[in-house]
Amino acid sequence: MTQTPKKLWGGRFAEATDGLVELFNASVGFDQRLFEQDIRGSLAHAAMLGKTGILQPLEVKQIQDGLNAILEDIRAGNFEWKLSLEDVHMNIESALRDRIGPVAGKLHTARSRNDQVAVDFRLFVKDAALELASLCRGLRAVMVSEAEKYLGGGQGAGVETTLELRVDAEAVPPAPLILPGYTHLQVAQPILLSHWFLAYAEMLERDESRFLDAAKRMDESPLGSSALAGTPWPIDRDMTARELGFARPTRNSLDGVGSRDFALEFLAACSINMAHLSRLSEEMVLYSSFEFGFVTLPDSHTTGSSIMPQKKNPDVSELARGKAGRVFGDLMALLTVVKGTPLAYNKDLQEDKEPVFDAFDTVSIVLRLYAEMLPKAVWHAETCEKAAARGFSTATDLADHLALGGLPFREAHEVVGKLVGYCVQYGKQLWELSSEELKAAHPSLNSSVAEKLSVQNSVRSRMSFGGTAPERVREALGAAKSRL
C-alpha cells in the first residue's frame, strides 16, 4: 500500500501511516455528517477561550470568522473531505489552518478530540431524539384524528396538527365502525376501529415520552473534559454548556468522554418505537389483503407487480416491518461495542455513529410515511362488521349473561363452550339457535338472548374504563386530544 503524509498528531511518529491502516482508521466517510455540530462546538469553545483570557479577542475573531466561512463552504458543497485527515474534526481543523494560518492551532487549547467528538455526538443525538419525539407526536395526532373520523356522526379531522389531513366525507360512517378484535390472530371480541387507533396513539405517546426523557438525560456537555482527566487551563465549562444549549456540563471527565449510554438509550427508544410500528405494519398488511379486505391503502403508498397487473402491494408496511430488525440490530451493535471498553475513550467508540445515524434515518422516514398514508386509507365498514360477527365473537357476552343471572362464570363458560361446539357441528351462529336448543344448554336461556349477541350490543356493553364502548372511546378521544 502507498504511504500517506503525517497527520496533525504525527509529531512523535517517525513513519507515515500505512495506507491500509489509514483506510481502516478513517471515519470521515460517515462522521462528516456532524460538521454542523463540530463547528458549533468549536465556535463555543473559541468564545470561552476568549472570555477566560486564554485567547486574545483578535484571535477569537479570526477563528470564528474562519469557522463560519468553512461552514458556508460545506453547506454550499464547496468543501473537499480528505480521507487522509481521518475524520470530520481534523478535516475542519486543517481547513481552518489553511484559511487563517497558525492561529488555528490555538483553537485546540484545553480541548481533545475525545471531548470534541463526544460533544458533537451528544448534540446530534439530542436533536435527533427531539425530532423523533415530534414525529411521534405528529403520528399520534393522525391516530387520534382517524379515531374521531371513524367514531361516527360525521366527525373527523378534529385534531390540529402540522400535517395536512384530508377527510373524505363519504368515508365517514354514520355509526361507529366495528372491527374484529383478535387474540392469537383468532377472532376474539368485537371492538371499535376508533379504539384500535387509540391503542396505537397510546403506544406513540409513550414512545414520544421515551425520546423526551432520553433527551433530558443526555442534556449535558462533555466539552472541557479534554482527553479524560480535565485540563489545567482556567476554562468555563458552564459557559460552553450554555452556548451549546445544554442544561449543564457533565460532572465527571472520565464519564464525559467515555460513556455512550445516551446513544444506547436513544437506540432503545428507536427500537421500541419500531416494534410498535412493525406491529402496526403487520396489521396493515393483513387487513389490506384480499382475504381480510378491511382497508384499502392509497395508490400513493403502494406498488404494483412487474408481471401480475392486478397486484397492489403494501410495500410501505412491509418495509417498515422489515426495517424494525435493522434498528434492533443498530442497538445490539452498539451494546456489543461498549460492553468491553475500559474507561475512558477507545477507538471502538468510533463505531457509535453509524448505528445512530441509521436508526434515526430509518425511524424518521417510517413515522413520516405512516402520518401521510393513514389519513388516505379507506376502511370498509360492512366488511369489518361482518368479520367481527364471525368466529363466535360474542360468546363471552352470552357467558356474561348467564353469570349475571347468578351462574358462576366458570360454569357459564362451560355451557357456552358446549354451545359453540354444537354450532360448529351444525354450521350455525349463536344467535341462530332456537329457544329449544338454548334451553337444552341451560334452562335460563331462550331466543330472547339473541339481541344481546349482536356485535353492536357487545361493543356497547364494554363500559369499563378503557373499554371499547362508544361512550368510553369518546371519553378516551377527548382525553387524547387534550394531551396533544
Any idea where the domains of the chain sit in the sequence?
16-109, 116-386, 395-453
Region 415-440: what's the mean pLDDT? 93
**Residue 220: what pLDDT?**
98
| 276 is a catalytic site residue | no
User: Model confidence at 40, in pLDDT bands (50, 70, 90)?
Assistant: very high
Which of 357, 367, 333, 316 lies closest to 207 in space, CA to CA?
367
Please, are residues 226 and 344 in contact by the beta-carbon 8 Å criterion? no
Is the model's pLDDT at 152 over the cut of 90? no
Contact 183, 396 (CB under 8 A): no
- Range among 150-159, 283-292, 338-347 rated most confident: 283-292
Q: What value does the mean pLDDT take over residues 355-359?
A: 98
Q: Taking 60 as the threshold, does the pLDDT of residue 44 lie above it? A: yes
Average pLDDT value for residue range 408-437: 93
pLDDT at 311 over 70: yes
What average pLDDT score do residues 281-291 get?
97
CA-to-CA distance for 142 and 10, rounded, in angstroms? 55
Residue bearing cell 384499502: 296
Percent residues over pLDDT 70 in the chain:
94
Q: Look up residue 397 and give its amino acid.
A: D
Q: Where are the beta strands (DSSP E) in 162-298?
A: 178-183, 186-192, 220-221, 248-249, 295-296
CATH of domain 116-386: 1.20.200.10
pLDDT of residue 159: 44
Annotated catalytic residue within 209, 305, 434, 435: 305
pLDDT band at residue 27 using 50, 70 and 90 as cut-offs: very high
Asked if the model's pLDDT at residue 277 lies above 80, the reply is yes
pLDDT in tens, 180-216: 999 999 999 999 999 999 999 999 999 999 999 999 9
pLDDT in tens, 72-94: 999 999 999 999 999 999 999 99
CATH 2.30.30.30 matches 16-109: no
Domain 395-453, CATH number (from 3.10.20.10, 2.40.128.110, 3.20.20.70, 1.10.40.30): 1.10.40.30
Range with the poorest average pLDDT among 145-149, 166-170, 366-370: 166-170
The C-alpha cell at 103 is 492561529
- Whether residue 275 is predicted with pLDDT greater than 60 in this model: the reply is yes
323 half-sphere exposure, CB direction, 13 A CA radius:
22
Cell representation of residue 330: 443498530
Span 252-270, pLDDT tens digits: 999 999 999 999 999 999 9
Q: Which helix (H) or strand (E) holds 384?
A: helix 381-389
**50-64, 350-364, 399-413, 437-451: which has the minimum mean pLDDT?**
437-451
Q: Is the pLDDT confidence value at 301 over 50?
A: yes
Cα→Cα distances 361→7, 355, 356, 365, 448, Å: 32, 10, 9, 6, 58
What is the structure's pLDDT at 162?
37
List pLDDT tens digits, range 221-244: 999 999 999 999 999 999 999 999
Parallel, antiparallel, or unpaired for β 378-379 and 295-296? Answer: antiparallel
- Residue bearing cell 379507506: 378
Residue 425, pLDDT > 80, answer: yes
402, with CB counted inside 10 A (0-12, 13-18, 19+), is buried
- HEC string for the chain: CCECCCCCCHHHCCCCCEHHHHHHHCCHHHHHHHHHHHHHHHHHHHHHHHHCCCCCHHHHHHHHHHHHHHHHHHHCCCCCCCHHHCCHHHHHHHHHHHHHCHHHHHHHCCCCHHHHHHHHHHHHHHHHHHHHHHHHHHHHHHHHHHHHHCCCCCCCCCCCCCCCCCCCHHHCCCCCCEEEEEECCEEEEEEEHHHHHHHHHHHHHHHHHHHHHHHHHCCEECCCCCCCCCCCCCCCHHHHHHHCCCCEECCCHHHHHHCCHHHHHHHHHHHHHHHHHHHHHHHHHHHCCCCCCCEECCHHHCECCCCCCCCCECHHHHHHHHHHHHHHHHHHHHHHHHCCCCCCCCHHHHHHHHHHHHHHHHHHHHHHHHHHHHHHCEECHHHHHHHHHCCCCCHHHHHHHHHHCCCCHHHHHHHHHHHHHHHHHHCCCHHHCCHHHHHHHCCCCCHHHHHHHCHHHHHHHCCCCCCCCHHHHHHHHHHHHHHC
State residue 452's pLDDT score: 80
Please say if 184 is a catalytic residue.
yes
Count of CB atoms situated within 10 Å of the CB of 481: 17
Rg (CA), the chain: 30
Question: How many residues does the structure list for the chain?
Answer: 484
- Alpha helix stretches (DSSP H) within 192-260: 193-217, 237-243, 253-258
- Locate 216 and state its grid cell: 433530558
Closest CA to 218 of 240, 252, 238, 247: 247
Is 246's pLDDT higher than 80?
A: yes
Catalytic residue among 84, 94, 108, 184: 184
Percentage with pLDDT > 90 across the chain: 86
